[in-house]
Amino acid sequence: MEERGIGVVETRHVTFAEPPNELTLESGQKLGPVTVAYETYGRLDEKKSNAVLVTHALSGDAHAAGVHFGEKKPGWWEPLIGPGKAFDTDKYFVICSNVIGGCRGSTGPSSINPRTGAPYALSFPFITIGDMVAAQKKLIDHLGIEKLLCVAGGSMGGMQALQWAAAYPDRVRSVIPIATTLKHSPQQIALSEVGRQAILADPAWRGGNYYAHGQPERGLALARMIGHITYMSDKSMEEKFSRKLKSENYRFSFDPEFEVEGYLRHRGDSFVRRFDANSYLYVTKALDYFDLSGGDLIPEGRPCDIRFLVISFKSDWLYPSYQSRDIVAFLRTRLVDVTYCEINSTYGHDAFLLEFDEETRLIAHFLDKTYDSTKGKP
């Protein structure tokens, strides 16, 4: 049987310009009008009960599955979204939107500020995961969906999923936080901060006003290189590179000598072609502000009938399993229906973008059960 895919998809955009055409952010600042870039896969059923929101990580975008016209590379979660896949588009209506603060179609620091006609740059207000989710809720309202069947995502996507449960508990039936945390730890903040410092230290950053001149390429590439080290595990790096050299012998040079150095350089260089440096600053800040600990995920006394599937990966040292177990332990104190699985992967944090077989088994079953238990409910 031929494998069916989603095929050609298009990113759509919606701008919330009706009064009040501003989002009041957690910082107290206002942002508006807000545009949200999104894609959808599958069909919304009559009762609008089959909608699943998929949320992306730091450098992700709305293009989660299918291919754009004329391109070959599919969306970032292609193996999980489509007919017969984990997020089965024969059954579910899957939505993915770019976060605000990002640079892939939703309003962010590289967008034109309508008040000045120039890019926001550092006049862009600080945003939080809560603000990202508030913009997503406007999109879900716009699509006429009362209650999402599920919100699912890995890493920063997992934070958004948790934030949905915290901020809009009546609007979501289930949540799948993957390789994520209830709060950014000091180590995670520190790793964000060195990435930001790499950008801020690049003279080409020009205080954020580089749009007429080109990106602070070296700083942004360096931030990405640091990131990539944290996305892989010690073991996956050993398996992929070991101490292999780019040429036969040591060259005694500060140019890349080891394959792992060349790989990092390559990943850094290709990142600057698709990601805005100021977005990197703002979005990593949103990660660092994230903190739903201390009961904020489900305030005491609030009943919660959201079902949770929490997934972590054994070799993930950026968002270690203990952080997922902390989520689970908290949910159990609130007597919430929660399933937890630690997948025995060597891929490190990247595993949420690679361990498709295990993820498919867990997610497909969990969504089925959730859908069956809520079938017919609007």
- Window 77 to 116, contacts with a second copy (CB under 8 A): none
- From the list 168, 241, 340, 356, which residue makes contact with a second copy (rule: CB under 8 A)? 241
344 binds a second copy per the rule CB under 8 A: no
Report how far residue 231's alpha carbon sits from residue 242's, in angstroms, rounded to the nearest whole number: 17
Nearest to 158 by CA among 347, 9, 323, 354: 323
Report how far residue 65's alpha carbon sits from residue 279's, in angstroms, rounded to the nearest whole number: 23
Closest to a second copy by CB, 129 or 362: 129
Query: Is 68 labeled as catalytic in the residue annotation?
Result: no
329 binds a second copy per the rule CB under 8 A: no
Residue among 56, 63, 184, 349 flagged as catalytic: 349
State the DSSP code for 320.
Answer: -
Query: Is 213 labeled as catalytic in the residue annotation?
Result: no
Residues 6 or more apart whose Cβ sits within 8 Å of residue 215: 204, 272, 276, 277
Residue among 155, 233, 315, 324 flagged as catalytic: 155
Query: Could you give the string, one character per residue 299-318, with x where binding to a second copy holds by CB under 8 A and - elsewhere?
Result: ------------------x-
Coil, helix or strand at residue 57: coil
Side-chain-side CA neighbours of residue 270 (13 Å): 7
190 binds a second copy per the rule CB under 8 A: yes
226 binds a second copy per the rule CB under 8 A: yes
- From the list 248, 250, 300, 303, which residue makes contact with a second copy (rule: CB under 8 A)? 250
Report how far residue 324's alpha carbon sits from residue 311's, in angstroms, rounded to the nearest whole number: 7
- From the list 36, 166, 175, 222, which residue makes contact with a second copy (rule: CB under 8 A)? 222
- Least distance to a second copy, CB of residue 332, Å: 22
252 binds a second copy per the rule CB under 8 A: yes
Query: Is 349 labeled as catalytic in the residue annotation?
Result: yes
* Contact between 38 and 97 (Cβ < 8 Å): yes
261 binds a second copy per the rule CB under 8 A: yes
Q: Which amino acid is at 191?
A: L
**33: preceding bond cis by omega (within 30 degrees):** yes
Q: Which two tokens stand for residue 240?
A: 């992929």
**Binding residues vs a second copy (CB under 8 A):** 27, 29, 125-126, 183-187, 189-191, 193-194, 196-198, 200-203, 218-219, 222, 225-226, 228-229, 232, 234, 237-238, 240-243, 250, 252-254, 256-261, 264, 281, 285, 288-289, 291, 317, 320
Q: Which residues are catalytic?
A: 155, 316, 349
